[in-house]
Amino acid sequence: LALAPVGSPASSVDGFVREFLRELNYGQGVALSTSSVNDQYLALARTVRHYLMARWLETLRRQAETQAKGVAYLSAEYLLGRQLGNALLATGLTEIVEEGLGKCGVDLAALRAQEVEPGLGNGGLGRLAACFIDSLATMSVPCIGYGIRYEYGIFRQTFVEGRQVEQADSWLALGAPWEFPHPEAAQIVTFGGHTEKYTDTDGVERSRWVAGWKVKAIPYNYMVPGYQNGRVNTLRLWRAQATDAFDLKIFNSGDYEEAVRAQTFAENISKVLYPEDSTPQGKELRLQQQYFFVSASIHDFVNSVLPKDFDLHKLPDRIIFQLNDTHPVIGVPELMRVLIDEKKMDWDEAWAITQQCFAYTCHTLLPEALEVWSVDLLGRLLPRHLEIIYRINEEFLERVSERFDGDQLRVSRMSIIAEHPERAVRMAYLATVAGAKVNGVAELHSQLLRDKVLPDFDEFFPGKFTNVTNGVTPRRFVRLANPALSELITDAIGVGWLTDLERLRELEPYAEDEEFRDRFREVKAHNKRRLNRVLVERDGFTVDDSHLLDVMVKRLHEYKRQTLKVLHIVTEYERIISGEVKPADITPRTFIFGAKAAPGYKIAKDIIHLINGVGAVVNNDKRVEGRLKVLFPPNYNVTLAEKVIPAADLSEQISLAGKEASGTGNMKFALNGALTIGTDDGANIEIRELVGDDNFFLFGLLEPEVEALYAKGYVPSSFYESDPSLKRAIDLIAQGAFSDGDRDVFAPVVGNLLYEDRFMALADYRAYIDAQDKVGAAYADTDAWTRSAILNVARSGFFSSDRSMRHYIDRIWHTPPAF
């Protein structure tokens, strides 16, 4: 027997209490009577993970035994959210724990509130990775997630006089009970230096990398429990540490300060998550981060996860490395280097293997978001990789030239190396050339990717491009976030929907059931009261459960158009103060925003300031009679999302058509019974097709119309001139109505709208206001609204990330569920 017998602690209240007290006394070193909430939380977390341990070890053992093909998900970000609730759900322990803690005089809810979420991601892309690994564990598909254990995750956002101020996210400060560090399994990652030619013992001319410096990569393992299926997969995040070489410097050099600086330098690599999520800056540290985790992961898989005697020619039968955007694409030349330089394969063999081992997911279309690394920087940091990239490019362009009869224009268009404005590696091209498959994240996005961004590649590689529409895990975003709705659903259609979300269809007939509609409304009201309690405690805000709750939560980006939402609010406000409407005649609404701006994204920060300025005025103007309220709780994160989304009536998905690759918040809202007001963009399109036009408020330009308007010459001020209501709204902002009469503060926002407006907020303004008027009227018909809300839930089962995973498995990975 390979393992000592492992048993889970007894799944009984008494068994749990024994284990919990043991952890508190012996693990935490405190008595129950003197323990702090944090002591209790840490003890509980460790107790719960004991219950997962046997399943984890068993999963690992079976994985090693069967040698089944699995997925290595390579992602620079995992936006996991709190772990405790999910672990309790996965183990089915919630009731036992609640009762057991009760016997100890401890409140489970208070301990859950103590957990600081690991915010190791920016937004959609990082959260998607977290949903995917949850689904793979639940579907019993072998998967190891690889990433970076940032010491500081996404910054904590605060507002000072309405402006965003960032604070460091010290998520590890109070203890990290979910992680398992394995310093003995460290990998070495090298950087810098130069390459040289040499003749190997077998007489073959080879290239060798003489690196300049190195760091240690320490793996930290996290459990990824499947939902009540006895499965626990692994998430392995790497932390950078100085090697002994750095330590030696400290003792050998007289310059202690310099030596310590060198150590700090190495450890900086995993210090902090870059808080940009659409405009990569080409910073050296960011490339170091990418190579650091990818190199450690590939070495870990090849040298530690695979059996010692594994024949690497069979690598594609064992693993597919899924590239979450271009951030891990340096893994392509890295695997080539490992196979050629370290494992002594020849180029053609190595390339044949590499091409089968990678697949690439693209998450954007915005040109400024496509990563390029200057040849200069890449050559300095990773000289051997640059050589390899050059050769991949040479051989590829040769094939292009052959196929297209020396078409030089096409050859230069398709080159992995861009020449202007500087020589740089186009990471998306490298991923496309090397990947067995390339996918976009929603139907429209995948189509535009083929037609607009990579048409030459689509032509050159028939069958390489595919779509997999994103999804979200119903465990976290329905069952955990919305227990009241979950209970209502289970009462109606029984259990089973949580792992087979299309079964929500069985709710459709209940839309016509009056009693069910009453209960559904009561669930919404209950969730609004719950949100009210959270926001009162967190920010001193109140939420009135009679208001229509209108929510826009997502990163602050111009293309997402938070300013369009602001223009709507200002228009409503202006209608009241001008006397055009009486407050009593409008549908009372509370607007909730949640949005972080990248710290260097000036206009985004100005927009945050504007939202806060509008809120301060609207909320305090007596003439509004409390019929409009604007709330902007700072630091929107997964934890807050779990409280806001279940309470929402209206989901704002108002990006300019063609710019939002998919969106995943849109799916979470629909599944929680909010109606969407949205453009014909990303996964909104698929949501609307499924829930039906009657249950979705569509507005705005279509993607081809956007293109046509750009082509013809877009003049935003012409919309301002020709729509009096738009003019009044913008004038109010410009005149300082939301900045104590100061006309300068928001001048950049106003100027940008009038004279630039890259994302056509003004062009879509009229359609948006008209659609919002329809929303207001529709909400007044309570029964009809509830019917639509129920149908949104019933028809959104497609958006489970379990379905996304099925599609990746069928179309890309070919990794069936194993044991």
Residues assigned a catalytic role:
363, 554-555, 560, 664, 668
Residue nearest ligand 26M, Cβ-based: 124
Under 8 Å between Cβ of 216 and 186: yes
DSSP string for 214-258 = EEEEEEEEEEEE-SSSS-EEEEEEEEEEE-HHHHHHHHH-S-HHH
Which of 140, 439, 446, 664 touches ligand 26M (CB under 6 A)? 664
**Which positions from 460 through 499 interact with ligand 26M, judged by CB under 6 A?**
470
Beta carbons within 8 Å of 590's beta carbon, 6+ residues apart = 543, 544, 547, 548, 549, 550, 628, 629, 630, 631
* Smallest distance from ligand 26M to CB 655, Å: 8
Closer to ligand 26M by CB, 683 or 749: give it: 683
* Smallest distance from ligand 26M to CB 289, Å: 9
The burial of 251, by beta-carbon neighbours within 10 Å (0-12 exposed, 13-18 middle, 19 or more buried), is given as exposed
Closer to ligand 26M by CB, 100 or 124: give it: 124
**Which positions from 194 through 213 interact with ligand 26M, judged by CB under 6 A?**
none
Work out the number of other CB atoms within 10 angstroms of the CB of residue 10: 13
* Smallest distance from ligand 26M to CB 128, Å: 4
Q: How far apart are CA 688 and CA 774, in angstroms?
A: 17
- Tell me which stretch binds ligand 26M (CB under 6 A): 137-145, 278-286, 450-458, 494-502: 278-286
Nearest-CA neighbor of 746 among 650, 644, 630, 613?
613
Which of 86, 140, 278, 482 touches ligand 26M (CB under 6 A)? 278
Nearest-CA neighbor of 268 among 278, 277, 280, 260?
260
- Tell me which stretch binds ligand 26M (CB under 6 A): 313-321, 564-572, 643-651, 662-670: 662-670
Closer to ligand 26M by CB, 383 or 682: give it: 682
Q: Is 773 left (phi over 0), alpha (psi -120 to 50) or beta?
A: alpha
- Tell me which stretch binds ligand 26M (CB under 6 A): 413-421, 517-525, 599-607, 659-667: 659-667
Q: Is 268 left (phi over 0), alpha (psi -120 to 50) or beta?
A: alpha
Q: How far apart are CA 759 and CA 129, in angstroms?
A: 28
* Smallest distance from ligand 26M to CB 449, Å: 12
* Smallest distance from ligand 26M to CB 129, Å: 9
The burial of 402, by beta-carbon neighbours within 10 Å (0-12 exposed, 13-18 middle, 19 or more buried), is given as exposed
Q: Is 663 in the site for ligand 26M (CB under 6 A)?
A: yes
Show the site string, 682-701: x = touches ligand 26M by CB under 6 A, - = not: x-------------------
**Which positions from 534 through 573 interact with ligand 26M, judged by CB under 6 A?**
none
Closer to ligand 26M by CB, 370 or 616: give it: 370
Q: Is 364 in the site for ligand 26M (CB under 6 A)?
A: yes
Token digits for 725? 């209501």
Say which residue the tokens 């939301």 belong to. Answer: 738
* Smallest distance from ligand 26M to CB 677, Å: 17
* Smallest distance from ligand 26M to CB 600, Å: 11
Beta carbons within 8 Å of 81's beta carbon, 6+ residues apart = 117, 118, 127, 130, 476, 637, 638, 639, 642
Longest dimension (CA), the chain: 90
Q: Which DSSP helix (H) or strand (E) runs through 550?
A: strand 548-553
Closer to ligand 26M by CB, 571 or 664: give it: 664
Closer to ligand 26M by CB, 276 or 545: give it: 276
**351-to-386, 391, 435, 463 alpha-carbon distances in Å:** 15, 11, 11, 19
Which of 115, 134, 558, 660 touches ligand 26M (CB under 6 A)? 660
**Which positions from 102 through 141 interact with ligand 26M, judged by CB under 6 A?**
122-125, 128
Token digits for 364? 């954007």
Size of the site for ligand 26M (CB under 6 A): 23
Which of 70, 119, 142, 280 touches ligand 26M (CB under 6 A)? 280
Q: How far apart are CA 524 and CA 788, in angstroms?
A: 13
Q: How far apart are CA 352 and CA 239, in angstroms?
A: 32
Closer to ligand 26M by CB, 316 or 328: give it: 328
* Smallest distance from ligand 26M to CB 624, Å: 34
Under 8 Å between Cβ of 439 and 461: no
* Smallest distance from ligand 26M to CB 366, Å: 8
Q: Is 441 in the site for ligand 26M (CB under 6 A)?
A: yes
Under 8 Å between Cβ of 746 and 673: no
Closer to ligand 26M by CB, 266 or 329: give it: 329
3-state helix, strand, coil in the chain (%, to 5): 55, 15, 30
Q: Is 276 in the site for ligand 26M (CB under 6 A)?
A: yes
**Which positions from 304 through 363 interact with ligand 26M, judged by CB under 6 A?**
363
Closer to ligand 26M by CB, 354 or 666: give it: 666
Q: How far apart are CA 179 and CA 80, in angstroms?
A: 13
**Which positions from 135 through 194 interact with ligand 26M, judged by CB under 6 A?**
none
Closer to ligand 26M by CB, 366 or 734: give it: 366
Q: How far apart are CA 196 and CA 737, in angstroms?
A: 66
Q: Is 661 in the site for ligand 26M (CB under 6 A)?
A: yes
Work out the number of other CB atoms within 10 angstroms of the CB of residue 522: 12
Q: How far apart are CA 462 and CA 464, in angstroms?
A: 6
* Smallest distance from ligand 26M to CB 125, Å: 3
Token digits for 188? 């070495």
**195-to-376, 382, 515 alpha-carbon distances in Å:** 15, 9, 74
Q: Is 667 in the site for ligand 26M (CB under 6 A)?
A: no
* Smallest distance from ligand 26M to CB 566, Å: 21
Under 8 Å between Cβ of 241 and 267: yes
Beta bridge partners of 163: 160
* Smallest distance from ligand 26M to CB 35, Å: 39
- Tell me which stretch binds ligand 26M (CB under 6 A): 185-193, 271-279, 345-353, 424-432: 271-279
Return the SS3 of 232. strand
Show the site string, 614-653: x = touches ligand 26M by CB under 6 A, - = not: ----------------------------------------
Burial string for 365-399 (b: 16+ CB within 10 Å, else e) reads bbeebbbbbbbebbbbbbbbbbbbbbebbeebbee
Closer to ligand 26M by CB, 477 or 541: give it: 477
Closer to ligand 26M by CB, 277 or 300: give it: 277
- Tell me which stretch binds ligand 26M (CB under 6 A): 338-346, 391-399, 656-664, 672-680: 656-664
- Tell me which stretch binds ligand 26M (CB under 6 A): 86-94, 276-284, 474-482, 694-702: 276-284
Which residues contact ligand 26M by CB under 6 A? 122-125, 128, 274, 276-278, 280, 286, 363-364, 369, 371, 441, 470, 660-664, 682
